[in-house]
Structure formats: C-alpha cells, structure tokens
Amino acid sequence: MNALLEVENATMRFGGLVALNDISFSVGRGEVLAVIGPNGAGKSTLFNVVTGVYRPTSGRVRFDGSDITGHPAHDVVARGVGRTFQTSRLFSDLSVLDNVIIGMHTRTGTGVLGALFLPGASRREMAACVEKAEALLKAGSGDLFEQRYRLAGTLAQADRRRLEIARALASEPKLLLLDEPSVGMDEIETDALIADIARLKRERADLSVILIEHDMRVVEAFPHQVICIDYGSKIAEGDFAAVKADPRVQEAYLGKAAVHA
C-alpha cells in the first residue's frame, strides 16, 4: 500500500492519564478510514496528535513521506491535512463565504504589506478566492451557495457541519479528517451528508479521508477499513463487518453483561 499517513506507536499521556496507548495504523492514498469507539475513548485526541495540536508523548506521525511528529498545526495544514472539529469552530459573526475564504489562508500569498503596496495583486487574489469559495459551496448539497452572505452563526446545524467541511476543503488537503460530521443531524440530513462525501470521493478519488463517527450508517457507507479504540487502545481493525462482529467492540459499546446476555 502506498501509505499517505502512517501513525507508529502513538502514545499520549496527560499526567497519569493515558489518552492514547501505542496506537499504529496507516491510510493509503484515496482510502477512507473510520475510527469508532465509545465516548472518551481517545478518538479526538488521535486527531489532535495527527494534526499537530498535541505532540505525542512517544511514537511517530509520518505524512506523505515526511516525519511531522509535533509539527505546529499550521505547518500540518500547509502540508495537506485538513480537518473539522467535534464542536463548531466557525466564525459565527462572519459570512458563510468569508468562512470558506479563511480556510484558504495557507494557499494565499498576499500579506499585510502586499495589500498596502500591491493592492491590484491583492484584489486579484481575493477575487480568485471568492470564485473558488463559491465553487466549493456550489459543489456541496443543500443551499449553502444561496446562503453565502448569511452569518455562519445563523445557519441550521446540518448546514454548519457542511460549511465546516467546505472550509476544510478550501485548504486543498490531501487528507481530510472529519470529527463526527453527522453530529446533530437527523436521518434525512445524515443521508445528505453521506451523499456529499460520496460525491466528493467520486470527484477527488485521490483524497484520503479519516472520519470519527458514531452513526454506523455513515461508517458502513465508505471505509476501506475501520479501527475501534477503547480506553486509548486499538482493540479491533479490519472491514466494517469484521469489526462490528468483534466481541471486544460489542463489549466496548454495550458492556460485558449485555454482550454475554
């Protein structure tokens, strides 16, 4: 497998708490990996280690052939890793369009001095950013494009989640990390999300995706592989059917008594 991301023996300790315990996995170019597990299992901590929010206590993270362990988050984004968060990180007082444009900050060249002394170049770059942002909004489902001038904080929950994905895609990632993208969605909205991701994968077959998800319909729809984490340790890995049937996974979600019953 031509691995794009390799996590090797990642451990993350916070004092006496072991949030991640010797976790290893890899994701190939164009593959989809689902990370599942009970609340508090360490899934979001894993994302934070991959994206440079945390430096692991031990272990390595390699991306696109380079060791990025402990690199600052802005460098990880610039290298081609985009992500969403479990809780909204949108700029609520800015428009939908502005939120997407902000996601392009690692791909633009005009700074403060450029805006002051090369205003023509700055205007041309901004016009290009607006055009690209509108294209991203049009590509998604729903009516985000029609709402592009609305304040992000006024959007419905499902549209906020779609906007977060559009903003992450604005950074032109090679790897997209989605942290519980269906949270707060009803069944119809979740079906639309599944369709969005399926369309994205058809249009960008080379894009790798890692998603943390509790809705098993979303998990079943895409992944080439699934890993399950419990108490910071990887307890199962394989395709969806195999992981779903694993007694350790069932015990982690349902409890030992329920499984044996």
pLDDT in tens, 222-238: 878 999 999 999 999 99
Q: What is the pLDDT of residue 143?
A: 83
Burial class (CB in 10 A: 0-12, 13-18, 19+), 175: buried
Q: Give the global pTM.
A: 0.88
- Residue 106 has a pLDDT of 65
pLDDT tens-digit readout, 31-63:
999 999 999 999 999 999 999 999 999 999 999
Given a contact cutoff of 8 angstroms between Cβ atoms, the answer to whether 58 and 9 are in contact is yes
Domain ranges of the chain: 3-260
- Residue 69: the pLDDT is 97
Q: What is the pLDDT of residue 86?
A: 85
Pick the CATH number of 3-260 from 1.20.1740.10, 3.20.190.10, 1.10.1740.10, 3.40.50.300: 3.40.50.300
- Cα–Cα–Cα angle for 13, 212, 96, nearest 5°? 110
H-helix or E-strand containing 127?
Answer: helix 119-139
Low-confidence ranges of the chain (pLDDT < 70): 1, 105-122, 141-142, 254-261
Give the C-alpha separation, 13 to 198, whole Å: 36
